[in-house]
């Protein structure tokens, strides 16, 4: 009736040989055990290294913490899920960020798992394993992942959506339709680029004759309803905020001034994506079937799987490039990171690899090298850069020391806890997160509309600390801060040291108005600043 084979026939096509070489190549480990060991090794390497070597939060993590601390339904740049999770997982470790590094790797491990599971439905366990392991060779799944952000968080939801939608279409269980809709909605609540998966797969369902028949049944509509309800609260926030997050995306990817300029930027983007896939392609070449293989017997299920996987693996990038061409807005390189979740599985099924014992052993050794090279570069960079004066990475910034000085000064002068910090994302984010008072943050680039949890009235009541980098903005209150807060009172700068680097941070006070503390301190603080 549905023109789909029985579910038990999906995972083991008769035309493919069983993985008889596997035990001989990898001892007595099964495909599942090798997958589990490889995934665990990846998670451990990329969790332990940043935990040991990163001395300070990255800018994305600090931004997420500043937002998540306020528990809004949306933020100037993003939907709410990433800030919420970032805040939640750092609350228990008490300002330790190892949980963020672990969360990033669990996201990547989930992509590996979804790829493995989808592959097992389409091909043999061994080829599914190869498809999952090839993802280690995609740049976006290793070196940048310690910076837990919305890009990393979207990855597992996109991968789970792709796997479960295939189960829903082929097995037609309502539970799978519901879960596919849930992960689609959560993906959108993580990052809008989840639409680059949803729209191509919606077109696939509409255009593929076997998939289209499901539209006469309740499953697809349950998926749409679930995704809509999950994303609805943020949609209402978007409307109420005047679509501020959409405006930010447009600002980050401005339209090119000339067609030639756009073409060059698009070519640069495509070149960067190809470079990100080079290790994966090198691994794939090791298993390539250089001589023509016997053609595989055709079947409706094989044809469906091939079309489904091609759409899932290539559709998100094709959609993103098409949208870029239509709008003439060059995409940013890192925006492509969540679009490669199924690149490894596509490669494994296209090359129909030769899986002899010798090739598998060579592949295993090469996979370890591909794992270790970016990890080694990551470690060496963080170990060697601090040895060069004033060349430390941001993740070595002495944020705790700086925040403690800001907080202690404020408490001493004002006699109460610090409630608000104002400045740019990096300096204010450090002061806010590492402060014992965990004040709310107003990022100056977004103003009050970007930080609606802070109002002028609240600042008048409680006061605030303004902070900036003296090296970049000078010792005086920067014009953008002075324009917004003309009553701010300049304070002595804060100097902090880390290894061979020295940091000078500017400080100003926005004093409480109409309170005994504020009135009593205004003259004293101004006099001290003059001295």
In order, the DSSP letters of 493-508 are: EEEEEETTEEEEEEEE
Report if residue 64 sits inside a domain. no
CA distances (Å), origin 356, targets 31, 279, 363, 426 = 15, 21, 10, 52
What's the pLDDT score for residue 23? Answer: 46
The residue segments making up the domain with residue 472 are: 397-530
Q: Which residues of the chain have pLDDT under 50?
A: 1, 6-24, 529-530
Q: How far apart are CA 121 and CA 370, in angstroms?
A: 27
Q: Residues 337, 425: one domain?
A: no
Determine which helix (DSSP H) or strand (DSSP E) holds 229, and give its type and residue range. helix 218-240
pTM for this prediction: 0.91
Q: Residues 330, 423: one domain?
A: no
Q: Quick one: 11 exposed, middle or buried, by C-beta within 10 A (0-12, 13-18, 19+)?
A: middle
What's the farthest any 2 CA atoms get from each other in the chain? Answer: 88
Report if residue 189 sits inside a domain. yes
What's the pLDDT score for residue 291? Answer: 55
Report if residue 10 sits inside a domain. no
What's the pLDDT score for residue 443? Answer: 95
Q: How far apart are CA 149 and CA 49, in angstroms?
A: 18
Q: What is the CA radius of gyration of the chain?
A: 26
Q: Reduced to 3 states, what is the DSSP secondary structure of residue 465?
A: strand
What's the number of domains the chain is made of? 2
Per-residue tokens: 62: 């600090």
Q: How far apart are CA 126 and CA 273, in angstroms?
A: 27
Q: Residues 443, 476: one domain?
A: yes
The separation between CA 222 and the C-alpha centre of its own chain, rounded to angstroms, equals 28
Model confidence pLDDT, tens digit, residues 110-142: 999 999 999 999 999 999 999 999 999 999 999
Q: Residues 373, 417: one domain?
A: no
Q: Residues 307, 332: one domain?
A: yes
Q: Residues 364, 424: one domain?
A: no
Report if residue 144 sits inside a domain. yes
Q: Residues 366, 505: one domain?
A: no
Report if residue 260 sits inside a domain. yes
Contacts of 400 (CB under 8 A, 6+ apart): 56, 95, 434
Q: Residues 374, 420: one domain?
A: no
What's the pLDDT score for residue 13? Answer: 40
Residues paired with residue 507 on neighbouring β-strands, in sequence order: 467, 491
Q: Residues 313, 433: one domain?
A: no
Q: Which of 345, 380, 415 is the last residue of a domain?
A: 380
Q: Which of 380, 411, 444 is the last residue of a domain?
A: 380
Per-residue tokens: 408: 């202690």
Q: Residues 131, 270: one domain?
A: yes
Q: Residues 186, 128: one domain?
A: yes
Q: Residues 419, 449: one domain?
A: yes
Contacts of 203 (CB under 8 A, 6+ apart): 311, 315
Q: Which of 380, 414, 447 is the last residue of a domain?
A: 380
Are the C-beta atoms of 114 and 131 separated by less than 8 Å? no
Report if residue 389 sits inside a domain. no
Q: Calculate what percentage of the chain has a pLDDT beyond 70.
A: 89
């Amino acid at each position: 009736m549905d023109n789909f084979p029985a579910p038990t026939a999906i995972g083991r096509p008769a035309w493919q040989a069983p993985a008889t070489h596997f035990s001989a190549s990898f001892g007595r480990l099964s495909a599942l055990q090798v997958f589990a060991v490889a995934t665990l090794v990846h998670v451990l390497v990329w969790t332990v290294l940043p935990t040991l070597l990163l001395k300070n939060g990255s800018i994305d993590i600090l931004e997420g913490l500043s937002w998540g601390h306020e528990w809004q339904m949306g933020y100037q740049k993003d939907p709410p899920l990433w800030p919420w999770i970032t805040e939640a997982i750092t609350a228990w470790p008490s300002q330790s960020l190892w949980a963020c590094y672990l969360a990033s790797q669990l996201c990547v491990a989930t992509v590996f798992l979804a790829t493995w599971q989808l592959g097992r439905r389409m091909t043999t366990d061994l080829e599914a394993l190869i498809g999952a392991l090839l993802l280690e060779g995609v740049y976006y799944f290793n070196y940048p992942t310690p910076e837990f952000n919305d890009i990393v968080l979207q990855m597992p939801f996109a991968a789970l959506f792709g796997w479960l939608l295939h189960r829903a279409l082929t097995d037609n269980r309502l539970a799978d339709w519901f879960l596919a809709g849930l992960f689609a909605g959560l993906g959108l609540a993580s990052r809008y680029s989840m639409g680059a998966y949803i729209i191509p797969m919606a077109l696939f369902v509409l255009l593929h004759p076997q998939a289209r028949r499901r539209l006469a049944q309740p499953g697809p509509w349950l998926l749409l309803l679930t995704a809509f309800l999950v994303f609805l609260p943020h949609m209402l926030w978007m409307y109420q905020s005047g679509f501020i997050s959409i405006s930010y995306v447009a600002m980050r990817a401005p339209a090119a001034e000339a067609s030639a300029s756009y073409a060059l930027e698009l070519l640069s983007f495509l070149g960067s994506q190809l470079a990100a896939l080079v290790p994966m392609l090198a691994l794939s070449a090791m298993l390539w079937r250089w001589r023509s293989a016997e053609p595989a017997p055709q079947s409706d299920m094989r044809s469906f799987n091939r079309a489904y996987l091609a759409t899932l693996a290539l559709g998100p990038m094709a959609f993103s490039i098409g949208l870029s061409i239509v709008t003439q807005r060059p995409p940013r390189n890192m925006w492509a990171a969540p679009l490669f979740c199924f690149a490894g599985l596509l490669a494994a099924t296209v090359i129909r690899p030769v899986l002899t014992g010798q090739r598998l052993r060579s592949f295993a050794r090469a996979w370890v090298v591909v794992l270790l090279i970016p990890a080694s570069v990551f470690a060496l960079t963080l170990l060697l850069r601090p040895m060069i004066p004033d060349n430390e990475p941001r993740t070595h910034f002495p944020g705790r020391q700086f925040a403690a000085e800001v907080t202690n000064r404020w408490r001493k002068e004002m006699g109460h806890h610090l409630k608000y910090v104002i400045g740019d994302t990096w300096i204010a984010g450090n002061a806010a997160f590492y402060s014992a008072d965990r004040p709310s943050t107003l990022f100056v680039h977004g103003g009050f509309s970007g930080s609606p949890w802070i109002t002028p009235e609240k600042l008048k009541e409680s006061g605030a600390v303004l902070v900036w980098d003296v090296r970049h903005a000078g010792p005086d209150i920067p014009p953008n801060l002075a324009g917004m807060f003309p009553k701010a009172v300049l304070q002595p700068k804060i100097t902090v040291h880390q290894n061979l680097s020295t940091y000078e941070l500017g400080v100003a006070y926005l004093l409480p108005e109409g309170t005994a503390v504020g009135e009593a301190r205004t003259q004293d603080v101004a006099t001290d600043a003059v001295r």
